[in-house]
Chains A and B, each alone.
Chain A
């Protein structure tokens, strides 16, 4: 068996009487792209939260590059290169676009355990930060918004910014929670272009409802239903799986 980049074995997350994630086995190879789909309440976001360390699963183990990380804390997992975005856009709305990106990049470059350094660094003046941030701004077509306070941007631009913040951090694995929710088709295409550039260069896990867009960038689909993975495999094949047709599309054969 080849080692997967990240792998879960029988993980479950239980809230009181409700089992949100039920004994899920999941694996993704390095530089693959996997889409996770499923109806609302299927446990997709909870599952992501288990991968990133927000939730510690009641049962099962999580492995990252063959190493058991089940009990590893959030910060440690981020250092290992697991980076996520959020379903409800998470950006810093009281500082500028530039500063948002710089914050994301700076953490990776600097030793975060020495915060005193942080008093000496000026994001605008530090050359390598500036170069990298400008690269990101260009790639994501946000150059014109560089100095804008993020709270004044459209939702689409904020979503783009959040993905740009992931991109600039250059993680080993991108976990994107509904990156296309609530934004226009045009903006989705913008993001798709960038994600396609990362395709097969980076490991990507995307939770999404917009299937038509999703299948453009993922090789594998993983369908969740009531906390369980009911099917996974190549897109076409998975979507035609009888159980998926029944429980996801509500089509009775």
Chain B
């Protein structure tokens, strides 16, 4: 298999795989939809982690901002599902415009922790400050307000599944384009050596800010899809405890790769699904996995696939992906 073929077929194969799963395990449709949504969320985090070298302990914040944007739209403004998704993406863009000037000047360790703080502030805002709008812990319910969509009524889970797949397909193509574009390479180069980037004449701050904005928009997009999927949102979605989930999924998939996030989402949610059948709390498993992946497995599932497919010429192109740096 060569690279060019893979870039065209990759997204198609993934989507086809999802459809096959859907018919093999008809009762797992909610799970598969969640894999699709979670993939987009992980792709967003992968931009921070794999391309920019920032590890955020606050991704649930952005996810819940997206979810609440859509939910508030449905509850108070209208029923158009597409418009709700666009609102969530625009809110993500605006949020990143506000935050990037501060955050993108921080050292990466401070970035990590400030994001953790954002998470806490987010929960506070949605649970307490905006309680009149969001109903606090009771959650905001809006399933009845969603209007039917033409062609494919995505209010039904079995149709929503295909809708998510379509968005996933588009996301993959754009993601791939970005990865190969001058911008994708600039981001990676900035991660490796920001000083040299400056001395080539690039504006490192600008590159980081745009990357950050894309990452946040993907997170809020995923958040809006979560909201539509569940038909309600509550503040738990944005809790700090969940920050590790997306980090771990990114690591499992393979940091900095285009298709890694999908396998990370599938691997992570699959494991959660299996473990949760015989364990109610699974922090222990998450912790052990994190350490195993980091020490023994640091190119993730995608790394294994690459090696297996012989995509990487032996010895020459072997990438060692490091977290952060």
* Chain A–chain B contact at Cβ < 8 A: yes
Does the CB pair A92–B196 fall under 8 Å? yes
Does the CB pair A120–B203 fall under 8 Å? no
Q: Is B188 an interface position by the 8 A CB rule?
A: yes
CB distance from B218 to the nearest CB of A (A): 15
Does the CB pair A92–B189 fall under 8 Å? yes
Between B181, B196, B256, B320, the greatest number of chain A beta carbons within 10 A of the residue's beta carbon is seen for B196
Q: Is B177 an interface position by the 8 A CB rule?
A: yes
CB distance from A46 to the nearest CB of B (A): 16
A120-B203 Cα distance, complex, nearest whole Å: 18
A93-B190 Cα distance, complex, nearest whole Å: 11
CB distance from B238 to the nearest CB of A (A): 30
CB distance from A51 to the nearest CB of B (A): 12
Contact of B200 (CB < 8 Å), options: A95, A103, A118, A123: A103
At the interface, is chain B mostly helix, strand, loop or mixed?
A: helix
Contacts of A151 in B (CB 8 A): 319-320
A227-B195 Cα distance, complex, nearest whole Å: 25
Convert A95-122 into 0s and 1s, putting 1 for each residue whose CB lies closer than 8 angstroms to a CB of B: 1000110111011101011010111111
Contacts of A93 in B (CB 8 A): 192-193
Does the CB pair B191–A78 fall under 8 Å? no
Contacts of A91 in B (CB 8 A): 193, 196
Does the CB pair B192–A99 fall under 8 Å? no
Does the CB pair A148–B317 fall under 8 Å? yes
Q: Is B178 an interface position by the 8 A CB rule?
A: yes
**Which of chain B's residues has its CB closest to A126's CB?**
B182
CB within 8 Å of A: which B206-229 residues: 206-207, 210
CB distance from A242 to the nearest CB of B (A): 38
Q: Is B180 an interface position by the 8 A CB rule?
A: yes
Contact of B201 (CB < 8 Å), options: A78, A100, A115: A78
Given contacts A94-B188, A115-B183, A118-B186, contact A75 B203 (CB under 8 A): yes
Q: Is A74 an interface position by the 8 A CB rule?
A: yes
Q: Is A79 an interface position by the 8 A CB rule?
A: yes
CB distance from A154 to the nearest CB of B (A): 13
Q: Is A163 an interface position by the 8 A CB rule?
A: no
A250-B262 Cα distance, complex, nearest whole Å: 65
Does the CB pair B189–A90 fall under 8 Å? no
CB within 8 Å of B: which A43-93 residues: 52, 74-75, 78-79, 83-84, 86, 90-93
Does the CB pair A103–B201 fall under 8 Å? no
Does the CB pair A94–B180 fall under 8 Å? no
Given contacts A115-B206, A124-B180, A149-B319, contact A107 B200 (CB under 8 A): yes
A124-B199 Cα distance, complex, nearest whole Å: 23
A216-B210 Cα distance, complex, nearest whole Å: 46
CB within 8 Å of B: which A166-219 residues: 169
CB distance from A85 to the nearest CB of B (A): 9
CB distance from B163 to the nearest CB of A (A): 25
A74-B185 Cα distance, complex, nearest whole Å: 22
Given contacts A99-B185, A121-B181, A122-B181, contact A78 B192 (CB under 8 A): no
A178-B41 Cα distance, complex, nearest whole Å: 45
CB distance from B137 to the nearest CB of A (A): 41
CB distance from A11 to the nearest CB of B (A): 20
**Which of chain B's residues has its CB closest to A162's CB?**
B196
A151-B207 Cα distance, complex, nearest whole Å: 22
Q: Is B202 an interface position by the 8 A CB rule?
A: yes
Contacts of A121 in B (CB 8 A): 181-182
Does the CB pair A103–B185 fall under 8 Å? yes
Does the CB pair A90–B193 fall under 8 Å? yes
A153-B319 Cα distance, complex, nearest whole Å: 12
**Which of chain B's residues has its CB closest to A82's CB?**
B199
Q: Is B281 an interface position by the 8 A CB rule?
A: no
Contacts of B256 in A (CB 8 A): 94
Does the CB pair B182–A106 fall under 8 Å? yes
Q: Can you report 12 residue pairs joining A to B where beta carbons are below 8 Å apart?
A: A90-B196, A94-B188, A94-B191, A94-B256, A94-B321, A95-B185, A99-B189, A103-B189, A107-B201, A117-B182, A121-B181, A148-B316
Q: Which 9 A-B pairs have the closest CB atoms?
A: A118-B183, A92-B189, A78-B201, A90-B196, A118-B182, A121-B182, A92-B192, A94-B192, A107-B201
- Write the residues of chain B forming the contact surface with A, with a CB cutoff of 8 angstroms: 177-178, 180-183, 185-186, 188-189, 191-193, 195-196, 198-203, 206-207, 210, 256, 316-321
Extra 15 A-B pairs, beta carbons < 8 Å, given A113-B203, A149-B317: A74-B198, A78-B199, A83-B199, A84-B199, A86-B196, A94-B188, A100-B189, A102-B185, A103-B202, A107-B200, A107-B202, A115-B183, A115-B210, A119-B178, A149-B318
